[in-house]
Structure 1
């Protein structure tokens, strides 16, 4: 033993202690009574789980058509149902431990069994419940090993050892245990934060009585609040005094001032857009640079436009503040368009406006308010007389609705029904001298 490496000597020492503990348990009446209580606790938890699981599952399963917050919360809780059996066994074992300690003044065996049930709960959580890739990785390589160490009763020595490993970053001193605790707690907190943010965003988007800009602003505010609280809780769990982050905050401020000007500008521009509501989700806009489309999403950095052919254009929020923006659909307002056409010089143009306005006015999408169809004479062209009919619609002629082509079809049919000729180019050719003769 003396010639072996230190780590092997410690391992052999732990093995010897384990052997002594096992022999003591096998020859002790108190140990056998604790084994019996463990079996009873396990059987009681198993029977109760079989009786209670269908009832709990039925209560937590909402109808498929329900999508509100309470229904989503019930579905979220339902996925933790496999933890019922090990947690019940843990609780029953804890009760049995209290009874044994009051009688025999010892409870090492039943305490070990209780820790094993907790290990089983963590294993089920990591293997069957967690779907998020980061959380699954965290559970596999952090939570499960820690649960195994806790099960064999070495958690306190391990915590003491990890707390002794410290390093300093500026005026912040942090231990390895704090980092591990922060990684585990941070993963859980930000997973819950992301889930809470998704639920709150879904709830706010369903509030149709709120203006779109107000909804987007509320979504951004709730996101900042949720993750801000998660960050503060994480700092508290890791044991970091927030006052020590003053230097780090100053460094971040300098970085924003020099290297992240555009990001900061776009972030502030996004907040201004949401507060003013001049352009919001659902509006059809056109920028000075030629970008045009329907706003489908507004993020903290950019606004997403979708063109009528399905392409997405990412426009920095700053462009909406510093350049001219044409909003065709602010608050769902009506828009005016015109459809040009020409008729022959043989046409009685005094009758034409009434014919065209009547035909266009029959289209179901053409509005009579603020003004009905208006046919106007625009000029005298080389081949015909130029007209245009102006009309109002509720929407955008963006390629999806195609209002103008339908109006042109109506004009064509109206002209044909009234035997009005649509001109085509005519050219008169004059020859000076003898015209050319055709040769055979």
Structure 2
């Protein structure tokens, strides 16, 4: 009772009350002004607008942080005046706990960060408020966990779990941001973008792993030994996976095949490349099927690349006429008919009808034509060209022959 009624005690209680009331008054006056300054214009986008919106989200922290700051100032006054300040120091820790609680409940978005705040930040803040955090930390540091020859403290394990979860969450977020930024760089070739995305991913998660090892106090020389052992394992037991991985890097560096190209492999697989991964390329056929082709096949076998849908490609259509036809008329008729088709290009060259040879029952011709794209099943150029050839020959009364055979019948009397 003597201590409670002493100036040292009631001054601390009074300073706590004054700090809280002053914090509420200051927060009430500052929040509208801060909102007017930070609120971006409606529909505004960009980095500045995002930063200003983020600033608005943390406004609920203004009251407990102001109370914490004012209480800290009051603590310095009471300790200088009376030599003690345990009450006001406890109040200061309470305001810090309220700030952590507000951060988790009102500021952090739903998901990993809110979960981490609820089960890590708030319990740690509560222990700090009660003044037992240092004692529990020392006890955990003295508790040793042994796994074979590896020994580490319980504190290092808990710190590693928390830091690992946070680091890899930050790594995943950074990877998404870098991927979106790189994909938006349209001036880069698709292969270069894919290579940059994979390089950024490896760098981000590699740095997160090394930082985690450092936080947990694990000697990085052990990681070097582990990397050497892993390299030997890849060389001996994972040769095919390593070959596909290296082949994928070569494909991305060379850029000779990339996403969007229509390719045909020696094995008969053909389709449009829709995805390139570290292990394989995914081809989409014209009928919607996906074919997963290991990257090594693109390096060790012959690949026909028809380039993308906007490139010019030449195709050939074969046909025949009868021997009774004036074949000198045929090229002009067919070239005019094919050139009239809307998808046939005049550059780099217009339709070209050529005499191919003399068959058993017909004179054989072919017409070559250029189109802006590929005949991959979805874009069918061959069928309209053959229709145009048929209609042109019929209009010119030119016969398209069929095989003729002479059959000799021998009867018993003739024999």
TM-score by length of 1: 0.78
Change (3 A) 1:199 1:110: closer
Whole-Å separation in 1 of the counterparts to 2:391 and 2:161: 72
Find the counterpart in structure 1 of residue 260 from structure 2: 282
**Which is worse superposed, 296-305 or 406-415?**
406-415
Change (3 A) 1:257 1:394: same
Whole-Å separation in 2 of the counterparts to 1:80 and 1:190: 25
> Is 2:110 aligned against 1:130?
yes
Whole-Å separation in 1 of the counterparts to 2:21 and 2:360: 103
The answer (yes or no) to whether the contact 2:40–2:53 under 8 Å persists in 1 is no
Whole-Å separation in 1 of the counterparts to 2:360 and 2:213: 79
> The residue matched to 2:319 in structure 1 has which SS?
strand
1:68-147 equivalence runs, <5 A: 70-71=46-47, 75=50, 78=53, 81-86=56-61, 88-105=62-79, 106=85, 107-108=88-89, 109-125=91-107, 129-131=109-111, 137-147=115-125
The one of 339, 343, 364 aligned to 1:365 = 343
Number of residue-to-residue matches in the alignment? 400
**Per-residue deviation, 1:101:** 0.9
> The residue matched to 1:337 in structure 2 has which SS?
strand
Find the counterpart in structure 2 of residue 392 from structure 1: 370
**Which is worse superposed, 298-307 or 170-179?**
170-179
The one of 11, 27, 30 aligned to 1:45 = 27
The answer (yes or no) to whether the contact 2:40–2:52 under 8 Å persists in 1 is no
Residue segments in structure 2 that go unaligned for 5+ positions in a row: 80-84
Whole-Å separation in 1 of the counterparts to 2:360 and 2:34: 88
Whole-Å separation in 2 of the counterparts to 1:152 and 1:111: 8
The answer (yes or no) to whether the contact 2:266–2:303 under 8 Å persists in 1 is yes
The answer (yes or no) to whether the contact 1:62–1:75 under 8 Å persists in 2 is no
**Per-residue deviation, 1:401:** 1.9
The answer (yes or no) to whether the contact 2:100–2:122 under 8 Å persists in 1 is no
**Per-residue deviation, 1:121:** 0.8
**Which is worse superposed, 312-321 or 115-124?**
115-124
**Per-residue deviation, 1:77:** 7.6
The answer (yes or no) to whether the contact 2:96–2:125 under 8 Å persists in 1 is no
Whole-Å separation in 2 of the counterparts to 1:352 and 1:37: 101
> The residue matched to 2:40 in structure 1 has which SS?
helix
**Which is worse superposed, 75-84 or 162-171?**
75-84
> The residue matched to 1:366 in structure 2 has which SS?
coil
Find the counterpart in structure 2 of residue 218 from structure 1: 196
**Per-residue deviation, 1:240:** 2.7
The answer (yes or no) to whether the contact 2:344–2:369 under 8 Å persists in 1 is yes
TM-superposition CA deviations, 1:49-85 (whole Å, max 9, x none): 45534653426x754xx6xxx45x8558846743331
**Per-residue deviation, 1:96:** 1.0
Residue segments in structure 1 that go unaligned for 5+ positions in a row: 1-20, 435-440
**Per-residue deviation, 1:47:** 5.3
> Is 2:243 aligned against 1:265?
yes
The answer (yes or no) to whether the contact 2:38–2:55 under 8 Å persists in 1 is no
> The residue matched to 1:208 in structure 2 has which SS?
coil
TM-superposition CA deviations, 1:101-157 (whole Å, max 9, x none): 12222223132122222122123355xx033xx555545544444344344443322
Whole-Å separation in 1 of the counterparts to 2:25 and 2:318: 85
> The residue matched to 1:58 in structure 2 has which SS?
coil
RMSD: 3.4
Change (3 A) 1:151 1:423: farther
The answer (yes or no) to whether the contact 1:112–1:153 under 8 Å persists in 2 is no
Whole-Å separation in 1 of the counterparts to 2:255 and 2:289: 24
Find the counterpart in structure 2 of residue 237 from structure 1: 215
Whole-Å separation in 1 of the counterparts to 2:291 and 2:129: 54
TM-score by length of 2: 0.82
The one of 326, 329, 354 aligned to 1:348 = 326
**Which is worse superposed, 45-54 or 214-223?**
45-54
The answer (yes or no) to whether the contact 1:347–1:420 under 8 Å persists in 2 is yes
Find the counterpart in structure 2 of residue 58 from structure 1: 40
Whole-Å separation in 1 of the counterparts to 2:100 and 2:388: 76
